[in-house]
């Protein structure tokens, strides 16, 4: 019974990681498209001077981090290792906390655009106008991504508990099945 349950939980964790990988790869493709636009318009790609396309670099970094966290989650679900599961839970929880802090700053700080450096590409304004025009869709997508991430962390914690306490569960089941 424990084997069936752990197999089902591993499948669910892999499925949620697949959905997160889809989001991460979508962000990476978007940042590569932005990088291609910047190279066509001859924006300097000097990272030492921040007013260069910093928005592109941040977007690419978020996509890479999300893909790496997803890869670790897939390895943890495949290997059924307590260490990998705990590490994945820690990384995913950190990512969710950072997202909550970012959303809290955007909601509570009315002058959040003044805190950002100048975006020479103009892509930040395009993204903002797109989000304002499609606010309902963007809210549903954001809520869906958060639900997927929280479900993934929940399943990972549950999977870790089953993995760590499976010898105790076997003793408990064998004791009461007499």
The series of mean pLDDT values per 10 residues for the chain, 178 residues long, is 71 87 90 79 56 74 91 85 83 89 82 71 78 83 87 83 65 47
DSSP symbols for 68-91: HHHHHHHHHHHHT-HHHHHHHHHH
Cβ(61)–Cβ(27) below 8 Å? no
Predicted TM-score (pTM) above 0.75: no
């Amino acid at each position: 019974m424990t084997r069936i349950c752990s197999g089902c939980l591993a499948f669910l964790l892999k499925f949620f990681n697949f959905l997160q990988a889809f989001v991460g790869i979508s962000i990476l493709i978007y940042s590569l498209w932005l990088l291609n636009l910047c190279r066509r318009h001859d924006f300097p790609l000097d990272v030492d001077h921040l007013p260069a396309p910093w928005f592109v670099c941040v977007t690419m970094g978020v996509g890479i981090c999300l893909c790496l966290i997803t890869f670790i989650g897939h390895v943890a679900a495949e290997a059924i290792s307590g260490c990998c599961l705990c590490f994945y839970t820690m990384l995913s929880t950190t990512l969710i906390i950072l997202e909550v802090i970012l959303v809290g700053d955007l909601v509570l700080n009315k002058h959040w655009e003044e805190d950002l450096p100048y975006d020479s590409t103009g892509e930040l304004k395009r993204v903002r106008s797109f989000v304002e025009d499609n606010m309902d869709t963007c809210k549903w997508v954001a809520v869906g991504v958060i639900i997927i991430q929280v479900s993934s962390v929940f399943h990972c914690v549950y999977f870790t508990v089953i993995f760590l306490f499976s010898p105790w569960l076997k003793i408990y089941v064998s004791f009461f099945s007499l």
